[in-house]
């Protein structure tokens, strides 16, 4: 069969395949951010964590030869960054938003600095699982080559749902994020819970970062993230702080991100940069649509300082 035989289906297929690929880091970062925000803190620094994770993951994969070790290293780097954020914000009168912004700068800076020697070499990439074996159409095969981390992300969304709703620790996390007074009255270690939640968020964001550099074709460059860590914050708001929603929202953002390349792939080359801006436009539109003065973030964790 040749390319033309599937005709107009090429475009949705390319978008679907792209959506799965682009959404994977979104799933990890947004669920990480969700866990942090559920504890009552916002970590804007995940953009920096993402870059750091991408660099660390690529570096360790290159040095050790195992991409999965790279993923772990990325997660640990993210955890360390989460710990820094968590500790700094535990100091009285320190503002979590400001710390987050400074960590974006620090994280990208560190990643660029240590990543300089990694631009040339080729590190082993994460395996893909080919779900397109039944088809002989190359577009179908290309779209169905799904990275293993994507499936981990889906499992993660459900695991976090169960954690938040069906475990004692999950309820404790929500208590701390929703009402500090209540948490203190119950004797919960508020600061410790928040620090741990920020570390967990950093761990997941680091893994999301490793996907950027270790998924097919796999390379490290300084333009890898392009703001996905920041968009994840909007994504969490759009998902109303629910992990299953975050999974869907990530796919939507991924689809928007895949729009530009997909159109280019079928030969539409005009307005390339405009289509590439789709995820950012989507972010803006969602923020406008999902906020209102009359009902500011009704589902938001009570201690989150988004709307004060």
Partner 1 sequence: MTAPQVELLNMTKRFGANLALNNVSLLIRSGTVHALLGENGAGKSTLVKCLVGFYHPENGHIQVNGREHRLNSPKDADALGIGMVYQHFTLVPSMTVAQNLVVSGARLPAYINWQSELKRLTEVTKKLPFHVPLDVRVSQLSAGEKQKAEIVKQLYLGRKLLILDEPTSVLTPAEADEVLGYVRSLTRAGELSAVLISHKFHEVRRYADDVTVLRRGASVRTGAVADLSDDALAEAMIGEPVSKMVQHAPKSPPKPNIVLSIKDLCVNGDNGLPAVKDLSLAVREGEIAGIAGVSGNGQLELVEAMMGQRDRNGTITVSGSSFNGTRKEIARLGVYGLPQEPLKNACIDRMSLAENLALRNFDRAPLCRGIAMNYGALAVQAERLVAQFRVKAPGLTASMNALSGGNVQRAVLARELTQDVRLLIASNPTFGLDFVACEETYRRIVEARNGGAAVLLISEDLDELLGLVDRVLVMSAGRIVHEVLADCADKRVIGKYMAGMKAA
Q: Does residue 239 contact residue 30 with C-beta atoms inside 8 Å?
A: yes
Q: Which of 3, 119, 131, 171 binds partner 1 (CB under 8 A)?
A: 171
Q: Which of 21, 41, 85, 174 binds partner 1 (CB under 8 A)?
A: 174
The verdict on 37 binding partner 1 (CB under 8 A) reads no
Q: Which is nearer to partner 1, 92 or 166 (CB)?
A: 166
Give the angle 135-137-15 at the CA atoms, nearest 5°. 100
Nearest Cα to Cα of residue 81 among 58, 108, 60? 108
Q: Which is nearer to partner 1, 136 or 289 (CB)?
A: 289
| Smallest gap from residue 202 Cβ to partner 1 (A) | 24
Q: Which of 159, 186, 274, 281 binds partner 1 (CB under 8 A)?
A: 186
Question: Rounded to the nearest 10 degrees, how much is the dihedral formed by the CA atoms of 48, 52, 55, 59?
Answer: 180
Q: Which of 10, 175, 215, 245 binds partner 1 (CB under 8 A)?
A: 175
d(CA 151, CA 20): 10
The verdict on 244 binding partner 1 (CB under 8 A) reads no
Q: Does residue 276 contact residue 260 with C-beta atoms inside 8 Å?
A: yes
Spatial neighbors of 274 by CB under 8 A, at least 6 apart, are none
The verdict on 93 binding partner 1 (CB under 8 A) reads no
Q: Which is nearer to partner 1, 33 or 47 (CB)?
A: 33
Segment lying near partner 1 (by CB under 8 A), choices 10-18, 93-101, 183-191, 277-285: 183-191
Distance of alpha carbon 192 from the chain centroid: 24
Nearest Cα to Cα of residue 15 among 280, 270, 226, 266? 266
The tokens for 223 are 């333009």
Strand partners, 129: 146
Size of the site for partner 1 (CB under 8 A): 25
The verdict on 127 binding partner 1 (CB under 8 A) reads no
The verdict on 295 binding partner 1 (CB under 8 A) reads yes
What residue ranges bind partner 1 (CB under 8 A)? 166-169, 171-172, 174-175, 178-179, 181-182, 184-187, 292-296, 298-299, 301-302
């Amino acid at each position: 069969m040749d390319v033309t035989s599937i005709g107009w289906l090429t475009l949705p297929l390319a978008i679907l395949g792209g959506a799965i690929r682009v959404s994977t880091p979104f799933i990890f970062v947004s669920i990480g951010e969700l866990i942090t925000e559920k504890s009552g803190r916002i970590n804007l620094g995940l953009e920096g964590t993402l870059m750091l994770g991408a660099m660390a993951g690529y570096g360790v994969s290159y040095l050790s030869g195992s991409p999965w070790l790279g993923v772990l290293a990325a997660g640990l780097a993210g955890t360390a960054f989460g710990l820094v954020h968590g500790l700094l914000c535990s100091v009285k009168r320190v503002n979590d938003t400001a710390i987050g912004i400074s960590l974006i700068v620090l994280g990208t800076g560190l990643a660029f600095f240590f990543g300089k020697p990694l631009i040339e070499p080729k590190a082993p990439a994460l395996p893909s699982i080919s779900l397109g074996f039944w088809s002989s159409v190359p577009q179908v095969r290309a779209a169905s080559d799904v990275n293993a981390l994507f499936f981990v992300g889906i499992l993660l969304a459900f695991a976090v749902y169960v954690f938040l709703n069906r475990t004692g620790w999950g309820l404790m996390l929500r208590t701390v994020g929703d009402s500090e007074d209540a948490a203190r009255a119950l004797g919960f270690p508020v600061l410790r819970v928040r620090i741990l939640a920020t570390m967990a968020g950093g761990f997941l964001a680091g893994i999301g970062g490793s996907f950027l550099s270790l998924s097919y074709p796999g390379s490290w460059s300084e333009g890898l993230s392009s703001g996905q860590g920041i968009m994840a914050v909007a994504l969490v708001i759009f998902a109303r702080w629910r992990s299953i929603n975050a999974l869907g929202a990530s796919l939507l953002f991924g689809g928007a991100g895949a729009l530009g390349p997909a159109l280019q792939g079928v030969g539409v080359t005009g307005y390339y940069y405009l289509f590439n801006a789709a995820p950012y436009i989507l972010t803006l539109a969602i923020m406008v649509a999902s906020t209102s003065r009359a009902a500011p973030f009704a589902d938001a964790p009570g201690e989150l300082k988004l709307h004060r």
